[in-house]
DNA sequence: CTTATAATGTCGGGTAAATGACAAAACCGC
DNA sequence: GCGGTTTTGTCATTTACCCGACATTATAAG
């Protein structure tokens, strides 16, 4: 691929459409360009030079592992989304990392300080970015509430609905999702154990709401619309 | 109090120091000035005219109640802090409200749209604001991890340490906090029941780590530093 | 001081979900 | 195809915490 093309990857994100070509070049995404395959770890949050990443193709998860090896997944990042040190804060450490879920990903990235400089010059950009962070903040608040108020089954259903909305292809009476998540992955997202996730998925399948296999997930349309 | 003085309340927050007097006046905080007493509800998140609030004096909690009447407290706001529609997003509903904890509070506020307009003109402001929201985002991520990884006792201890850091007065071998929280309040913060919170507090008291009563909380300094 | 109200203390039973352990099935590289 | 590895299925046991109930104590209000 010609490197000229790589420069314009960021245009896929509405945040960067307000920028001129020269401004976009300031971010110097070429050096931050990379491809990855399933299982690769993209970054650790305590890296010396904080960056922001743009996912051009594929899907990744943002996770944290505690001292006992327990993992939770805080967010699934899809094609066209940003991740990394979005909070612009580099003082408080957190043990987050990003791992590739799909067979391959394409990523470009830029340094936090370059981005901040650009925002100083471009108030539009700063405001849009603030809203982007604000939205992610709000979504996490929502996950937090769900975790406290709802049981594992409800959280699973909620997740499946969200996944369908983000990633599903509608057919006549179903929504089909190309499945790049194991039941273990799903368990981490809804904050439960693998065994519980398995049981609940089978329970939902028995009830006729979905069909799960390693390749794809088919959700009953009625089921997704209700609840 | 002269209304001229009220205008400059916001100067207490470092976010607003970059602004000129005229710019600060644009926010029109006078109309949003109010005092409140313990138990008062300051705002609901689904209000028609979203605002951002600055807490000049006192302490409040940001909570959510679900359909069954269960409550969680997402954040304690102290003197000098901002709250309200900080995410700048008005599309997704969440049932948050703010309630006064201390005997009295002093608050000023301004409308979201005025603030956004100001950020458009003042990239510095937008950038600082993003960092502020980013920090809150990061703190919530931390609470989320704690909720999943740690048991109620650990979460209580973590909360007490945070509270001591924010609000405590150091003595020779203890940290004294003026107590404006009931055990029910604390339970909401650490996402457990009142009964569990009570048991854990008494357990910690029996172990000699603290002394809790309705007026004040005394934490053993060793205890706060360790763990 | 008296009484109402709110906050704290305590206990036993019930339960969702974790844990650990193992088997079966699906997938992948060769 | 075969053999190793990953993923999924199932179950019996344990546990942290919830839930409801009630007694006791502190605080506020008349």
> pLDDT-derived band of residue A55, with 50, 70 and 90 as boundaries?
very high
Instruction: Name the maximum alpha-carbon separation found in chain B.
Output: 57
d(CA B44, CA B57): 20
pLDDT at A77 over 70: yes
Kindly tell me the sign of the dihedral angle through the C-alpha atoms of A3, A55, A63, B158.
positive
At residue A8, the pLDDT reads: 76
* Contacting residues of B for A134, CB less than 8 Å apart: 86-89, 133
Q: For strand D, is any atom closer than 7 Å to the CB of B66? A: no
d(CA A27, CA A109): 8
A27 compared with B111, residue with greater pLDDT: B111
At residue B3, the pLDDT reads: 57
Distances (CA, A) of A157 to A152, A189, A226, B149: 9, 12, 10, 22
Percent of chain A with pLDDT over 90: 70
The answer to whether A126 and B127 have CB atoms below 8 angstroms apart is yes
pLDDT at A95 over 60: yes
* Residue A173 main-chain phi, psi, to 5 deg: -130, 20
Q: For strand D, is any atom closer than 7 Å to the CB of B153? A: yes
Say what the alpha-carbon torsion angle A2, A6, A8, A9 is, to the nearest 10 degrees. 140
Closest residue to D7 (CA, C1′):
A182
> CA–C1' distance B193–D23 (Å)?
19
At residue A46, the pLDDT reads: 61
Residues contacting residue B5 through CB under 8 Å, at least 6 positions apart: none
> pLDDT-derived band of residue A2, with 50, 70 and 90 as boundaries?
low
Of B132, B54, B135, which is closest to residue B98 (Cα–Cα)? Answer: B54
| Cβ separation A124–B122 shorter than 8 A | no
At residue A49, the pLDDT reads: 83
Q: For residue B48, give the 3-state DSSP assignment.
A: coil
Per-residue pLDDT of B155-214, as tens digits, reads: 999 999 999 999 999 999 999 999 999 999 999 999 999 999 999 999 999 999 999 999
> pLDDT-derived band of residue A146, with 50, 70 and 90 as boundaries?
very high
ipTM of the assembly?
Answer: 0.94
At residue A43, the pLDDT reads: 72
Distances (CA, A) of B87 to A166, B42, B134, B177: 22, 18, 10, 31
* Residue B55 main-chain phi, psi, to 5 deg: -90, 110
Alpha helices in B39-151 (DSSP H): 112-121, 123-149
The gap from C-alpha A185 to its chain's centroid, in whole angstroms, comes to 13
pLDDT at A3 over 80: no
Per-residue pLDDT of A187-219, as tens digits, reads: 999 999 999 999 999 999 999 999 999 999 999
d(CA A100, CA A109): 15
Q: Which residues of chain B have pLDDT under 70?
A: 1-4, 6, 227
Distances (CA, A) of A101 to A42, A85, B108, B147, B171: 11, 20, 47, 25, 52
Q: How many CB pairs under 8 A join A and B?
A: 129
DSSP state, B62?
Answer: E
CB atoms within 10 A of CB B220: 17
The answer to whether B194 and B152 have CB atoms below 8 angstroms apart is no
* Contacting residues of A for B136, CB less than 8 Å apart: 137
The answer to whether A94 and B90 have CB atoms below 8 angstroms apart is no
d(CA B160, CA B217): 9
At residue A89, the pLDDT reads: 87
Residue in the structure block whose two tokens are 């309705």: B214
């Amino acid at each position: 691929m010609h490197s000229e093309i790589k420069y314009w990857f960021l245009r896929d994100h509405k945040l960067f459409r307000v920028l001129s070509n020269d401004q976009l070049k300031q971010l110097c995404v070429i050096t931050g360009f990379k491809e990855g395959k399933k299982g690769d770890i993209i970054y650790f949050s305590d890296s010396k030079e904080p960056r922001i990443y743009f996912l051009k193709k594929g899907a990744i998860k943002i996770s944290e592992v505690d001292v006992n090896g327990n993992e939770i997944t805080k967010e699934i990042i899809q094609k066209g989304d940003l991740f990394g040190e979005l909070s612009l804060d580099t003082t408080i450490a957190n043990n987050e990392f990003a791992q590739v879920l799909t067979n391959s990903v394409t990523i470009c990235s830029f340094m936090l300080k370059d981005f901040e400089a650009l925002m100083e010059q471009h108030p539009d950009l700063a405001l849009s970015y603030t809203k982007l962070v604000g939205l992610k903040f709000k979504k996490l608040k929502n996950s937090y509430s769900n975790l406290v108020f709802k049981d594992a089954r409800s959280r699973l259903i909620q997740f499946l609905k969200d996944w369908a909305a983000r990633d599903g292809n509608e057919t006549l009476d179903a929504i089909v999702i190309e499945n790049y998540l194991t039941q273990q992955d799903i368990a981490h997202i809804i904050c439960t154990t693998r065994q519980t996730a398995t049981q609940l998925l089978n329970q939902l399948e028995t009830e006729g709401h979905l069909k799960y296999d390693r390749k794809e997930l088919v959700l009953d349309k009625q089921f997704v619309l209700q609840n």
